[in-house]
Amino acid sequence: MRPFVAILIGIIVAFTLVSVGDVISHQIVPAPTDLDLQNRTALAEYAHSLPWTVFAVLYAAMLLGSFCGGSLACLISPSRAKVNAWVVGGLVLLGAIGNFVMIPHPPAFVGLTLVSLLTSPLAVSRLFRGVTPANSAA
What secondary structure, in 3-state letters, does 94-107 show?
HHHHHHHHHCCCCH
Domain coordinates of the chain in residue numbers? 2-29+48-127
Per-residue pLDDT of the chain (138 residues), as tens digits, is 888 999 999 999 999 999 999 999 999 988 888 888 888 888 888 888 899 999 999 999 999 999 999 999 999 998 888 999 999 999 999 999 999 998 888 899 999 999 999 999 999 999 988 776 655 554
In the chain, helix, strand, coil percent, each to 5? 80, 0, 20
How many Å apart are CA 17 and CA 19, to the nearest integer? 5
How many Å apart are CA 103 and CA 46, to the nearest integer? 10
Residue (of 17, 5, 11, 16) closest to 86 by Cα position: 11
**Predicted pLDDT at 36:** 87
**Predicted pLDDT at 132:** 64
pTM for the predicted model, two decimal places: 0.87
